[in-house]
């Protein structure tokens, strides 16, 4: 993955594993939801994270990645988990809850206290950076 | 808001009915989280009352309608109804996805063409089918749903079908099978199958095989082309280590290379090629080449195809019609006559026109991608969900990214808190005064640099002893280059003194100031060349001089950039910072400054194309070297910028800056040189004319005299090009179109506001209905429990009952 050698040492592999969402990605793209991916799942993942995937498809999978409790809604608890993982736990609890509150204020269209897939897709439409950040180069 | 109607739910009366209805465990659409909730519900019944009161107190404090009970304490029947809501099932199971996309393709097909209902099979009428699927998806087998979807996909156009397939959140294997099934022989084949005879089974098989082979060949070519894109691995490494922001600089460099290559192709094909092919180099002693030519462009480079002065002003390859300069008249067999002045003028014009169209198109495309109506609101949500760059693969880089996101969130919260408590009038005045002072100082610096350049260039014109030496020609480019390097640092120091609320604004302000400085200097230089040098160099080849000046500026810019990279990044980071200041922090890669340097170099190229047709080739070589130098320095010495960087916004800003000040300025310079300045009479393709534009007019007059067959060209020239009325008409039409577009966007904004309100109202309706459902089921359960209680009591001693009946 990006290097010309074929055998990796343990340290080199460790250097590639610092994406805070790596477990969620594996869970979302694996067939039985427990993180074990087959070759087809692996291909699915790279197909979704490639340049040519349409925005709605990426938004759908991003929604599933950020939905930690798998209940089809991103609730406040999911948001707290996301923010904690994004900042490596270095924001205080008060700041985290403030950020979550503001996110819900901005993105929750039907005011039910959590984000549905439509809310998430509407928010993604306003973020032109999403296509370039939710992207893995091969 | 309308009054909600009283809703009467038909709820089964007897408890025995619940056993006959399918329980949540049986429905495949219910997610496993609901199973767990149903199981836990029985355990929470005891604590229900206390928790409910507490949560109601908390929730009603916000003033909004909320769900009266959290989901865990809802009744089984409510849970079942909630579980089969479309918003819960879509995206949960494969069958739901297929049925959702089926309805979408039906809508697409209906929108494109309305088929007669009579032609459809009774069971496939769309309206009934939709109703069926949306209310009760579990009634259909998955294969039936899939075959329906395949049928709908077949009725779409191929491009639409591919687009729909790409957007489906199914696995790749399923998408492939859907595509295979929907790719059927066309109606023509179906019709002729009955005819037989001509198209036998073998023919059809061969056709299908050929199609398949072509398709796989096309795919292989596409993937091979993608593998061949230059610097793919280097860009991937840069993206992995530094993220999308630094990558945008290198992508911009690639774009500039493409523009230059296009321009060079045109110039080589239409100007340089014929000149080299038909006219060999002038006879005479070949000037000796010292190494200094590479820097100054003078010396042995002067009388080559590199500069304007070498080009002929005659019609090449003409059979002895007009004499060439000095040489014998050698008749050539065949061949078209090639009018060199006309070709020179129109090729440069066409090159600029094509560059303009390409630039405006890419700028508009990038703008469309990066700006959205209402994109300034929702910054917290966008930061949380869209700022993690999945490209980044290295541990150190992702740590840095996490730090950046944390800083960004803290800044956003601080900004919001600041807005909550606005500053006093005194503080705001002080802030405005500091801002005004910093701007004044920076503008003063830019003006000072322009004045310095002007004074120095006048000094160079006046001093005759400096004009003799070749090395003295390098002084002006050196001075200008040093000013371009030093003044932005000064402005950055000034910017550190002034207060700024948002770091994004700081970046924009820095770019603005740097740009003003560069524009001031370039403006002074253009006046110096076209105003003063033309007057001073009467009788000599001033175009050659201007071309050489621009070559010198380009080369000196490259040399100074190299030195800056070496000293700014390598020496500072490795030696000074580590040893003297004992800091382990690497210098940041300043994206804005580097991109503005690229834009400056490209402006110089465009300014010089008319006078030195090979200048794009020099720029291409320079850009290639810059890529490798910057990449090496970046990977070895620098770290990613700490400031937040909206990559797509920035790419749009850079393309806009490339188009508007840079390209527009160069186009204005070109137009002035072509229309107003008298070309020198001793060299170049326009030596006998009053202005370069006259070459076109001369040709049109020649065409008029040539005969009636091409009379439409002079007519077009007289009434459309020379007549100003046509230009006014076109500009007025363009303005009208722009105004209409603005009105349309305004209308769309209003529609978006209305739709948002509607969504919010629907949300409130949904919560209200769910609460009503709860209350109805609660009442029902209470009644059941009381009924169960009374039946138990009837089993008690009848004495108690008689007492109650008495009451």
Contact at 8 Å (CB) between B11 and B776?
yes
**Predicted ipTM > 0.90:** no
Burial class (CB in 10 A: 0-12, 13-18, 19+), A57: middle
Contact at 8 Å (CB) between B375 and A126?
yes
According to the model, what pLDDT value does residue B665 have?
93
State how far residue B64 is from chain A, nearest Cα, in angstroms: 8
Q: What is the pLDDT of residues B692-720, one digit of tens each?
A: 888 888 888 888 887 777 777 778 877 77
Structure tokens at B642: 């700490």
Helix (H, G, I), strand (E, B) or coil at B16: coil
CB atoms within 10 A of CB B23: 12
Confidence of residue B286 (pLDDT cuts 50, 70, 90): low
C-beta atoms of A90 and B756 within 8 A: no
Residue B280: phi and psi, rounded to 5, are: -70, 175
Average pLDDT over residues B154-177: 84
CA gap B447, B444 in Å, rounded: 5
Report whether pLDDT(B280) > 70.
no
According to the model, what pLDDT value does residue B148 have?
81
Residue A86 has its nearest CB partner, among B236, B244, B388, at: B388
According to the model, what pLDDT value does residue B200 have?
67
B297 compared with A4, residue with greater pLDDT: B297
Structure tokens at A100: 């979550």
Residue of A nearest to B403 (CA): A87
Contact at 8 Å (CB) between B454 and B479?
no
CB atoms within 10 A of CB B127: 10
CA gap B384, B381 in Å, rounded: 5
Report whether pLDDT(B560) > 60.
yes
At residue B277's C-alpha, the angle toward residues B271 and B281, to 5°, is 95
What's the CATH class of domain A10-134? mainly alpha
Per-residue pLDDT 10s for chain A (138 aa) are 455 566 666 666 655 667 888 888 888 888 777 778 888 888 888 999 988 888 889 999 999 999 998 888 888 999 999 999 888 888 889 999 999 999 998 888 888 888 888 889 888 888 878 888 888 877
Say yes or no: B317 contacts chain A, CB-CB below 8 A: no
CA gap B181, B149 in Å, rounded: 10
Residue B390 has its nearest CB partner, among A110, A125, A135, at: A135
C-beta atoms of A87 and B402 within 8 A: yes
Report whether pLDDT(B158) > 90.
no
CA gap B308, B545 in Å, rounded: 9
Contact at 8 Å (CB) between B599 and B548?
no
Query: What are the residues facing B339 on neighbouring strands?
Result: B315
Q: What is the pLDDT of residues B391-417, one digit of tens each?
A: 887 787 888 888 888 888 887 888 788
Residue environment code for B718-747, b if the CB has 16+ CB neighbours within 10 A, otherwise e:
eeeeeeeeeeeeeeeeeeeeeeeeeeeeee
B 159-198 residues inside an 8 A Cβ radius of A: 163, 166-169, 171-173
A111 CB neighbours in chain B (<8 A) are 64, 760, 763-764
CA gap A45, A31 in Å, rounded: 12
C-beta atoms of A107 and B416 within 8 A: no
DSSP class per residue in B632-689? HHHHHH-B--SS---HHHHHHHHHHHIIIIIIHHHHHHHHHHHHTSPPPSSSSTTTTS
Report whether pLDDT(B27) > 50.
no
State how far residue B418 is from chain A, nearest Cα, in angstroms: 15
B385 CB neighbours in chain A (<8 A) are 62, 66, 82, 120, 123-124, 127, 130
Report whether pLDDT(B756) > 80.
yes
Average pLDDT over residues B35-54: 49
Which of B129-133, B238-242, B613-617, B725-729 shows the lowest mean pLDDT across its residues? B129-133
CA gap A55, A53 in Å, rounded: 7
Q: What is the pLDDT of residues B724-754, one digit of tens each?
A: 888 899 999 999 999 999 999 899 989 988 9
DSSP class per residue in B599-642? HHHHHHHHHHTTT-TTHHHHHHHHHHHHHHHHHHHHHHH-B--S
According to the model, what pLDDT value does residue B198 have?
52
Percent pLDDT > 90 in chain B is 20
- CA neighbor of A99 nearest in space, from B42, B417, B433, B644: B417
According to the model, what pLDDT value does residue B578 have?
66
According to the model, what pLDDT value does residue B494 have?
81
Helix (H, G, I), strand (E, B) or coil at A65: helix
Q: What is the pLDDT of residues B198-246, one digit of tens each?
A: 556 788 888 888 888 888 888 888 878 776 677 888 888 888 788 778 8
Percent pLDDT > 70 in chain B is 73
C-beta atoms of A66 and B385 within 8 A: yes
Structure tokens at B89: 């099932």
DSSP classification of residue B374:
T
Query: What are the residues facing B588 on neighbouring strands?
Result: B639
CA gap B362, B638 in Å, rounded: 30
CA gap B228, B778 in Å, rounded: 67
Helix (H, G, I), strand (E, B) or coil at B588: strand
CA gap B156, B25 in Å, rounded: 38
A1 CB neighbours in chain B (<8 A) are 393
End-to-end C-alpha distance for chain A, whole angstroms: 7
Handedness of CA B456, B461, B462, B466 (dihedral sign): positive
- Residues 6 or more apart whose CB falls under 8 angstroms from that of A35 comprise A23, A26, A27
Residue of A nearest to B414 (CA): A95
Contact at 8 Å (CB) between B696 and B346?
yes
Report whether pLDDT(B43) > 60.
no
């Amino acid at each position: 993955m990006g290097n010309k050698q074929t055998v990796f040492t343990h340290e080199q592999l460790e250097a590639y594993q610092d994406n805070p969402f790596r477990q969620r990605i594996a869970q979302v793209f694996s067939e039985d939801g427990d993180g074990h991916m087959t070759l087809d799942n692996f291909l699915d993942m790279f197909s979704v994270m490639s340049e040519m995937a349409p925005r709605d498809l990426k938004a759908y999978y991003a929604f599933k990645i950020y939905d930690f409790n798998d209940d089809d809604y991103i609730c406040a608890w999911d948001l707290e988990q996301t923010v904690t993982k994004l900042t490596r736990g270095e924001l205080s609890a008060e700041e985290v809850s403030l950020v979550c509150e503001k996110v819900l204020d901005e993105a929750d269209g039907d005011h039910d206290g959590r984000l549905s897939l439509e809310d998430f897709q509407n928010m993604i439409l306003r973020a032109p950076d999403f296509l370039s950040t939710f992207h893995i180069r091969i | 808001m309308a009054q909600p109607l009283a809703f009467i739910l038909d709820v089964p009366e007897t408890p025995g009915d619940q056993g006959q209805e399918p329980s949540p465990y049986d429905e495949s659409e219910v997610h496993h989280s609901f199973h767990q909730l149903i199981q836990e519900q029985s355990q929470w019944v005891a604590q229900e009352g206390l928790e409910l009161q507490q949560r109601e107190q908390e929730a009603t404090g916000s003033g909004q309608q909320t769900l009266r009970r959290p989901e865990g304490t809802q009744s089984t029947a409510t849970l079942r109804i909630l579980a089969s809501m479309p918003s819960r099932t879509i995206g949960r199971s494969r069958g739901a996805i297929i049925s959702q996309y089926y309805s979408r393709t039906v809508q697409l097909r209906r929108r494109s063409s309305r088929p007669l209902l009579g032609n459809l099979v009774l069971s496939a009428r769309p309206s009934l089918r939709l109703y069926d699927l949306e209310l009760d998806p579990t009634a259909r087998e998955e294969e039936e749903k899939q075959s329906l979807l395949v049928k709908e996909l077949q009725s779409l156009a191929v491009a639409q079908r591919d687009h729909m397939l790409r957007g489906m959140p199914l696995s790749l294997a399923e998408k492939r099978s859907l595509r295979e099934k929907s790719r059927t022989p066309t109606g023509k084949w179906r019709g002729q199958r009955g005819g037989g005879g001509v198209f036998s089974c073998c023919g059809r098989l061969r056709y299908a095989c050929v199609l398949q082979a072509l398709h796989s060949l096309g795919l292989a070519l596409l993937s091979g082309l993608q593998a061949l894109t230059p610097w793919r691995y280097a860009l991937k490494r840069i993206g992995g280590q530094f993220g999308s922001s630094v990558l945008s600089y290198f992508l911009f460099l690639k774009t500039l290379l493409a523009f230059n290559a296009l321009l060079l192709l045109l110039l080589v094909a239409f100007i340089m090629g014929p000149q080299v092919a038909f006219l060999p180099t002038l006879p005479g002693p070949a000037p000796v080449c010292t190494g200094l030519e590479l820097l100054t462009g003078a010396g042995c480079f002067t009388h080559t195809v590199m500069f304007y002065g070498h080009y002929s002003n005659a019609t090449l390859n003409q059979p002895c019609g007009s004499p060439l300069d000095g040489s014998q008249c050698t008749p050539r067999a065949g061949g078209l006559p090639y009018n060199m002045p006309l070709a020179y003028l129109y090729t440069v014009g066409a090159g600029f026109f094509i560059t303009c169209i390409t630039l405006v198109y890419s700028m508009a495309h990038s703008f469309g991608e990066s700006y959205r109506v209402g994109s300034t609101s929702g910054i917290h949500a966008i930061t949380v969900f869209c700022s993690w760059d999945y490209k980044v693969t290295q541990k150190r880089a992702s740590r840095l990214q996490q730090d950046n996101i944390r800083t960004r969130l803290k800044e956003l919260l601080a900004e919001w808190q600041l807005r909550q408590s606005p500053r006093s009038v005194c503080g705001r005045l002080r802030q405005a005064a500091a801002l005004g002072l910093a701007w004044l100082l920076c503008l003063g610096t830019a003006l000072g640099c322009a004045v310095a350049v002007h004074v120095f260039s006048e000094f160079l014109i006046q001093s005759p002893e400096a004009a003799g030496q070749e090395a003295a020609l390098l002084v002006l480019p050196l001075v200008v280059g040093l000013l371009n390097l030093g003044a932005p640092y000064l402005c950055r120091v000034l910017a550190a003194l002034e207060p700024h609320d948002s770091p994004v604004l700081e970046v924009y302000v820095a770019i603005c100031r740097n740009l003003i400085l560069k524009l001031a200097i370039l403006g002074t230089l253009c006046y110096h060349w076209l105003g003063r040098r033309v007057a001073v160099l009467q009788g000599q080849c001033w175009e050659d001089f201007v071309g050489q000046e621009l070559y010198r500026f380009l080369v000196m810019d490259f040399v100074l950039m190299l030195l800056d990279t070496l000293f700014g990044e390598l020496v500072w980071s490795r030696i000074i910072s580590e040893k003297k200041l004992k800091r382990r922090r690497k210098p940041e890669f300043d994206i804005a400054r580097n991109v503005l340097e690229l834009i400056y170099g490209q402006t110089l190229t465009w300014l010089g194309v008319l006078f030195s047709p090979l200048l794009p080739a020099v720029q291409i070589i320079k850009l290639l070297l810059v890529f490798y130098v910057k990449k090496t320095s970046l990977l070895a010495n620098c770290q990613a910028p700490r400031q937040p960087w909206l990559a797509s916004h920035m790419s749009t800003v850079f393309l806009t800056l490339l188009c508007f000040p840079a390209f527009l300025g160069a186009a204005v310079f070109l137009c002035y040189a072509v229309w107003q300045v008298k070309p020198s009479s001793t060299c170049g393709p326009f030596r006998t004319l009053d202005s370069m534009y006259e070459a076109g007019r001369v040709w049109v007059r020649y065409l008029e005299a040539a005969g009636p067959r091409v009379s439409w060209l002079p007519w077009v020239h007289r009434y459309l090009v020379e007549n100003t009325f046509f230009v006014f008409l076109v500009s007025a039409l363009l303005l009208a179109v722009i105004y209409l577009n603005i009105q349309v966007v305004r209308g769309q904004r209003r529609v978006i506001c209305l739709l948002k309100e509607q969504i919010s109202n629907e949300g409130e309706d949904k919560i209200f209905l769910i609460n009503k459902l709860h209350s109805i089921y609660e009442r029902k359960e209470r009644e059941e429990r009381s009924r169960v209680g009374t039946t138990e009591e009837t089993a008690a001693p009848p004495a108690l009952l008689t007492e109650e009946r008495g009451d």
